[in-house]
């Protein structure tokens, strides 16, 4: 969750190389500095592990969305075809559930897909009205960017800047939102 | 983590020990003994029944024929040996699939130029060596017991105006006749086996000489195999399984059998990889490889269920008697003896792997993978059992010494064949161009 904080002040280390930034994450962390986030133009294998991110729970969310969709359609078909207005179609039982398995499947998939998109947007702070924190535009092109939230760290700005430089940052900038 | 791999030695020679050979031999002997006991019991118990059946047949052959058509696809007198041959057929079909899927796996991985699977490619590569064995067994079975297993082989069905004339089956004569059928069977096994031999030879030569030339050639022959298999996987399913219930047909059946075979083969590949890893081989196979194999099994269990249901639902919904008879026989026919296998099949092939393999951790845990593999392997035995048994032995089916013994014989022979192939070459394809990528596989 990236909450919008009016007086947030960040130190931004800009790296030229994916291997360097991956190594830098471990070094910066072992110097006792808390990293806000690392932004890269492409996924780097092992970066999430190095940052110590907890495992995503989107799978659990997906399962629950799917289950919701499935139960919604079970209820809807049962209510309409089996309970509210039972009809005999093709000589079958009123509630001939095999015939409704396709729609149950479809709603499971639909709820899962839409629910996961929604979860993704919310958990990454990408809602339509949310203004994302952009630390350095070049992180969408050819630079690897490490952001440090100064308010979350005890060390001084100068100390952290030197840790970033020592870990291989080509530039260290200050970014205020 | 991609950057902290330490790659172990790539020289691994699988040893097919005398101890394993001894165990497999005991297994086969135990299987033969079980089948012998079962056959003795069946011959003793079935004798009286055969009498009744024969008398009944003599009393009103035409009427009996009609009833049998409706119920069992029309077998005349039941002989106890039919159950023996039907069991041979079930296991042959099962292990033919398991074997040919090895080549299928190799082929689509070459065609997709997949890198991740290179490190364990010797395992799928070892499976198709069993094809000649099942091929020969099936041909012998067809010549010895074709009349008992395949209703369409009876000459009388095609005599216009004869007492046994069956216009529906007679209409299928262009496809279902003995010379064409035997020719097709020979073609399947020869084509599958020959293409595997070629790609296998490239693979072994590549180990010695290196270079990318063998890789390029393997892609070509793999493509050829996939073209052949695209057609023959369907037609072999019609021939080997669907033609047993001669009146009935399903346009989904080819896909359905391919899905069964494929997920069975994937479970065998995974099981062998996990077991070899436990024995200290294949140290270069990491959790990501297992994760991907688990995903493969998970995905194709769902695919199997999808095709199973697609076939079932159209028949259920249309409710045409000549189609629903297939499910009637399995669901409530013959005193309901096929109802349990029918539901065990759905449970073990879909519900069980779907729930067990859903999470990421499950697919990375060898013991859970093994449990899922066994579920799938047993489940798909029931798949072929429910497809083949009702149309061949009908109410005389069941689970006894013959069934268990026959599984034991085929399984031990299959393990023997795979182990012998694995021992023939280095377990890791040292000069495979994609090996480096596979060693660093990280998801």
Q: Is position A3 within any domain?
A: no
Q: Looking at the domain assignment, is residue A4 inside a domain? A: no
Which conformational region is residue A87 in: left (phi greater than 0), alpha (psi within -120 to 50 degrees), or beta?
beta
- Would you state the structure tokens that stand for residue B262, as one six-digit string? 């494929």
Question: Does A87 lie in the same domain as A39?
Answer: no
Mean pLDDT of B246-269: 95
pLDDT given for residue B49 in this prediction: 46
Residue B202 has pLDDT above 90, yes or no: yes
CATH value at residue A141:
3.30.70
How many C-beta atoms surround the C-beta of residue B370 within 10 A? 16
Q: Is B424 helix (H, G, I), strand (E, B) or coil?
A: coil
How many structural domains does chain A have?
2
Place of tokens 């910066």: A28
- The DSSP secondary structure of B57-98, one letter per residue, reads HHH-HHHHHHHHHHHHS---S--HHHHHHHHHHHHHHHHHHH
Q: State what percent of residues in chain B have pLDDT above 90.
A: 79
Paired tokens of A173? 């900038």
A30 belongs to a structural domain: yes
Same domain, A46 and A65: no
Supply the DSSP symbol for B426: B
What's the pLDDT band for A133 if we cut at 50, 70, 90? confident
Q: Are B250 and B291 in contact (CB under 8 A)?
A: no
Report the gap between the CA of B288 and the closest CA in chain A (Å).
12
Q: CB distance from B316 to chain A under 8 Å?
A: yes
Token pair, residue B203, equals: 């693979």
Out of A45, A90, A91, the one facing B442 most closely (by C-beta) is A45
Give B-chain residues touching A101 at CB under 8 angstroms.
309, 313
The model carries a pTM of 0.87
Please check whether residue B113 touches A, CB under 8 A.
Answer: no
What is the H or E stretch that residue A9 is in? Answer: strand A9-15
Same domain, A148 and A98: no
Q: With respect to residue A2, please indicate whether it lies within any of the assigned structural domains.
A: no
Do residues A149 and A168 share a domain? Answer: yes
The whole-angstrom separation of Cα B276 and Cα B295 is 20
User: Mapping DSSP to helix (H, G, I), strand (E, B) and coil, where does residue A175 land?
Assistant: strand
Contacts with B312 from chain A: Cβ below 8 Å: 98
Mean local confidence (pLDDT), B45-54 = 47
Provide the pLDDT confidence category of residue B8 given band limits of 50, 70 and 90. Answer: low
Q: Check whether residue A48 and residue A97 sit in a common domain.
A: no
The two tokens of residue A15 are 């790296």
User: In this model, does residue A3 exceed pLDDT 70?
Assistant: no
Residue B3 pLDDT level (bands cut at 50, 70, 90): very low
Specify which residues A16 forms β-bridges with.
none
Torsion of CA B110, B112, B115, B121, to 10 degrees: -40
| A118 and A140 housed in the same domain | no
Q: How far apart are CA B142 and CA B153, in angstroms?
A: 10
Q: How do the domains of chain B map onto residue ranges?
A: 24-47+84-439
Nearest-angstrom CA–CA distance, B221 and B199: 7
Domain identity same for A62 and A111: yes
Rounded CA-CA distance B332/B17 in Å is 48
Instruction: Quick: pLDDT tens for A56-115.
Output: 888 899 999 999 999 999 999 999 988 999 988 888 888 888 999 999 999 999 999 999
Please check whether residues A70 and A115 belong to one and the same domain: yes
Report CA dihedral (B27, B31, B34, B39) to the nearest 10 degrees: -170
For residue A18, give its domain range. Answer: 9-53+132-176
Predicted confidence band at B98 (pLDDT cuts at 50, 70, 90)? very high
> Same structural domain for residues A40 and A87?
no
Residue A106 shares a structural domain with residue A160 = no
- Structure token digits, residue B97: 């699939």
């Amino acid at each position: 969750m990236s909450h919008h904080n009016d007086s947030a002040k960040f130190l931004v280390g800009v790296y030229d190389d994916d291997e360097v930034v991956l190594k830098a994450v471990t070094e910066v962390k072992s110097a006792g500095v808390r990293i806000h986030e690392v932004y890269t133009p492409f996924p780097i294998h092992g970066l999430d592990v190095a940052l110590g991110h907890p495992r995503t729970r989107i799978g659990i969310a997906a399962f629950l969305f799917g289950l919701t969709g499935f139960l919604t359609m079970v209820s809807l078909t049962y209510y309409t075809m089996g309970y509210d207005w039972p009809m005999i179609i093709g000589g079958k039982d009123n509630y001939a559930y095999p015939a409704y398995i396709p729609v149950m499947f479809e709603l499971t998939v639909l709820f899962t897909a839409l629910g996961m998109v929604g979860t993704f947007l919310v958990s990454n702070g990408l809602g339509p009205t949310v203004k994302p924190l952009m630390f350095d535009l070049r992180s969408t092109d050819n630079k690897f960017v490490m952001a440090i939230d100064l308010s979350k760290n005890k060390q001084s700005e100068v100390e952290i800047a030197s840790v970033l430089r020592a870990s291989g940052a080509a530039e260290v900038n200050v970014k205020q939102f | 983590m991609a950057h902290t791999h330490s790659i172990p030695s790539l020289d691994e020679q699988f040893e097919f020990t005398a101890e394993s050979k001894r165990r497999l031999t005991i297994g086969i002997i135990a299987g033969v003994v079980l089948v012998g006991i079962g056959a003795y019991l069946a011959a003793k118990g079935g004798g009286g029944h055969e009498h009744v059946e024969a008398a009944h047949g003599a009393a009103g052959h035409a009427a009996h024929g009609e009833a049998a058509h409706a119920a069992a696809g029309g077998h005349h007198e039941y002989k106890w040996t039919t159950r023996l041959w039907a069991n041979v057929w079930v296991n042959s079909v099962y292990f033919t699939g398991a074997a040919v899927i090895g080549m299928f796996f190799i082929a689509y991985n070459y065609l997709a130029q997949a890198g991740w699977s290179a490190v364990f490619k010797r395992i799928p590569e070892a499976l198709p060596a069993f094809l000649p064995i099942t091929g020969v067994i099936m041909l012998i079975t067809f010549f010895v017991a074709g009349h008992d297993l395949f209703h369409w082989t009876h000459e009388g069905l095609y005599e216009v105006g004869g007492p046994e004339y069956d216009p529906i089956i007679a209409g299928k004569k262009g496809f279902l006749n003995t010379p064409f059928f035997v020719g097709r069977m020979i073609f399947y096994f020869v084509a599958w086996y020959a293409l595997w031999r070629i790609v296998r030879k490239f693979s072994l030569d590549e180990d010695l000489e290196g270079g990318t030339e063998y890789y390029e050639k393997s892609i070509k022959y793999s493509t050829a195999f996939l073209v052949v298999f695209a057609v023959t996987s369907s037609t072999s399913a019609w021939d080997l399984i669907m033609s047993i219930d001669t009146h009935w047909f399903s346009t989904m059946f080819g896909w359905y059998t391919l899905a069964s075979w494929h997920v069975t083969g994937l479970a065998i590949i995974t099981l062998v990889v996990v077991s070899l890893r436990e024995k200290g081989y294949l140290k270069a196979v990491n959790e990501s490889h297992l994760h991907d194999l688990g995903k493969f099994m998970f995905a194709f269990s769902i695919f199997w269920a999808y095709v199973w249901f697609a076939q079932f639902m159209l028949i259920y919904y249309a409710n045409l008697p000549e189609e629903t008879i297939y499910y009637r026989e399995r669901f409530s026919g013959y005193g309901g003896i096929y109802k349990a296998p029918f539901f065990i099949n759905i449970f073990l092939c879909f519900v069980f792997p779907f729930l067990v393999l859903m999470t990421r951790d499950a697919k990375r845990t060898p013991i859970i993978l093994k449990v899922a593999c066994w579920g799938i392997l047993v489940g798909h035995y029931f798949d072929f059992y429910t497809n083949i048994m009702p149309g061949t032995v009908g109410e005389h089916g069941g689970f006894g010494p013959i069934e268990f013994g026959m599984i034991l014989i085929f399984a031990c022979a299959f393990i023997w064949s795979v182990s012998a192939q694995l021992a023939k070459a280095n377990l890791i394809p040292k000069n495979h161009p994609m090996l480096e990528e596979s060693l660093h596989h990280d998801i």
